[in-house]
Amino acid sequence: MKLFVQINVAFGVLLVFILSAIAVLFHFVLLDHFITVQKNDMQQASATISTHMQADSVAMSGVTGAASVANVTSVTTQPSAAAVAISPITATLTPVLGFDAVITDNDSNIVYSTLPASTLHITAQKLDNVSGVQIVQEGKDERFLVASKTIDAGMLTLFTPMSKIQAIEKSLLGRLLVVLCIGGALVFLLSLVITRKLIKPLMQLQGELRKVENRRFSEVKRIRAGGEIGVVAETVYDMAEELEKYNRIQKQFIQNASHELKTPLMSIAGYAEGIRDGIFEGEDVRKGLDVIISESGRLKNIVTEMTLLAKLDGEEHIFRMDAVPIAEMITETIERINPLLVRNGLAVEVDYSDEAARRTVIRADRDKLLQALLNVVSNATRYARKEIRIRISRGKKQIDISITDDGDGIPSSLLPHLFHRFVKGKDGETGLGLAISRAIVERCGGCIAARNHETGGADVSMRFPAA
């Protein structure tokens, strides 16, 4: 099931559950509210009727000889004199107020009632030996809502059927349910629109990831989206760019490696075949063997450096980080390349910006860092005319090592690619030395860059974080 469908189905189920819970809650809240309001109205009405009856009783105080009280079935059909005296106010008020009324004397005999006798008779059948009026007055009949008030003549009880309250509640609840359903439908439709808008970038991102899976890195497009999805989309786009660049470099590396390996192999094979077939004789045989030995050594160097590069790119355990004094590293580097310096008639000047720079220590793999320095300095010996200058300076958070020669500088066409594999200048050897230096420096947490110095010559600088 698609994510879009899953989200909307889950939201729809949740929405139905919430609306159902709200409907049930509304039902009980509304019913309780209407019952409370009706009880208050009935209590106020009973108090009003009682007040008027007391006033009428005072006005009729001269009348004597109250009639005997009839039973429940004869009250409504043949009212007594007392009923006649009591009934005018109740007959006037109860229809207006919308309640039924029953008046009983102190002996619980019905003096006046607006309830049908059949209703009271049916109610009385529910409980043996108890009158229907008493059942209703005591609130035992769930069909009625009751409010009682003691008066001089006995007890005034107002009734209203629960069915009336329930009908009002159901009517209002029905309208509320319609409103809730319409609101729920609108919310669900809005959720569809919002979900589709949120899911659309994900679906597009899925398509771009398919391109990455199929190694079509150059076809990956940037997806415009907000929030976390936008961050992920931007990351995927950047990853595709890096993979495309890496893929391009790998292809170029294979092509260059094939070329670099093929050249010495062709020389070796050519001279070996010539010697075997007798083409070379005498001194030529010795020269051919020298070429074979020389090209074999060059081939060995290429393979060694390629293996080192592969290890630097993919193996973590070959680096053993330690505190390395810069001054010792510079001294050892100069000692190692001294034969080259003597042969080319070059001098090396080492310049520390201050005493703190001389005592500087960085965290690095000592042997690997020495290899990086040797590669850069030996490369400078090929192009320097008279002097190579090494300058070490220390900042608050970094250490800079600058190696400058007084040669012709780096061709501008080579500068952007100088630290790539198999990129070499006019007198370069394998084209892997500076690439190895860059890999080592970066693994040590630093960075390396090259430029042409203002006064002429190449300037290769390395920056490391302070230990």
Same domain for 388 and 245: no
Are 161 and 257 in a shared domain? no
Q: Are 157 and 22 in the same domain?
A: yes
CB–CB of 324/363 below 8 Å? yes
In 10 A of CB 117, how many CB atoms? Answer: 17
Maximal CA-CA distance, the chain:
168
Whether residue 294 lies inside any domain: the answer is yes
Q: Tell whether pTM > 0.85.
A: no
State which of 267, 283, 314 marks the end of a domain. Answer: 314
pLDDT value of position 390: 92
Residue 238 sits in a domain whose CATH number is 1.10.287.130
Indicate if the alpha-carbon torsion angle 367, 372, 373, 378 is positive or negative. positive
Q: CA–CA separation, 400 vs 424, rounded Å?
A: 25
Pair 89, 7 in one domain: yes
CA geometry: angle 213, 214, 220, nearest 5 deg = 80
CA dihedral 314, 317, 323, 329 (to 10 degrees): -60
Co-location of 403 and 452 in the same domain? yes
* 98 lies in some domain: yes
Paired sense of beta strands 387-394 and 347-352, if any: parallel
* Residue appearing with tokens 């080319």: 344
List the one residue out of 400, 403, 402, 404 whose CA is nearest residue 356.
400
pLDDT score at 427: 66
Q: For residue 78, is it within any domain? A: yes
Q: Beta-carbon neighbour count of residue 464 at 10 Å?
A: 22
Based on the fold, state whether residues 20 and 131 are members of the same structural domain.
yes
Residue 425 in any domain: the answer is: yes
Cβ(388)–Cβ(426) below 8 Å: no
DSSP E strands in 152-188: the ranges are 154-161
Residue-level pLDDT at 60: 58
Asked if residue 140 and residue 108 are part of one domain, the reply reads yes
Query: The tokens of 320 are what?
Result: 């053993």
Closest among 41, 72, 25 to 160, alpha carbons compared: 41
Q: Which of 146, 167, 188 is the last residue in one of the domains?
A: 167
Q: 265 and 242 in one domain?
A: yes
Domain end position, chosen among 246, 279, 314: 314
The reply to whether 405 falls in a domain is: yes
Contact, 135 vs 146, CB < 8 A?
A: no
47, 64: one domain: yes
Domain that holds residue 155: 3-167
Strand 361-364 relative to strand 398-405, pairing? unpaired
Q: The tokens of 148 are what?
A: 């009682």
Share of the chain above pLDDT 70, in %: 79
In a domain, 201, yes or no: no
Q: Which helix (H) or strand (E) holds 465?
A: strand 458-465
- Name the domain count of the chain: 3
Residue 107, both tokens = 């002996």
- pLDDT reported for residue 367: 87
Same domain, yes or no: 250 and 275? yes
Low-confidence ranges of the chain (pLDDT < 50): 63-87, 93, 96, 120-131
What would the pLDDT profile of 255-270 be if each residue is shown by its tens digit? 767 766 777 788 888 8
Does residue 382 fall inside a structural domain? yes
Taking CB atoms within 8 Å and a gap of at least 24, the contacts of 105-109 are 105/69, 105/153, 105/154, 106/154, 107/69, 108/133, 108/134, 108/154, 108/155, 109/69, 109/71
Question: Residue 348 is inside which H or E element, if any?
Answer: strand 347-352
Is residue 465 within 8 Å of residue 397, measured between CB atoms? yes
Contacts of 131 (CB under 8 A, 6+ apart): 72, 108, 120, 124
Q: What's the CA angle centered on 431, arms 273 and 251, to 5 degrees?
A: 85
Number of Cα atoms under 13 Å in the Cβ half of residue 330: 24
Residue 184 inside a domain? The answer is no
Q: pLDDT of 339-396, one tens digit each? A: 888 888 999 999 988 888 888 888 888 888 888 898 899 888 888 888 999 999 988 8
The full DSSP string for 82-147 is HHHHHHHHHHHHHHHHT-EEEEE-TTS-EEEE-S-HHHHHHHHHHSTT--HHHHHHTT--TTEEEE
Residue 408's CATH number: 3.30.565.10
Same domain, 299 and 369: no
User: Is the same domain home to 365 and 414?
Assistant: yes
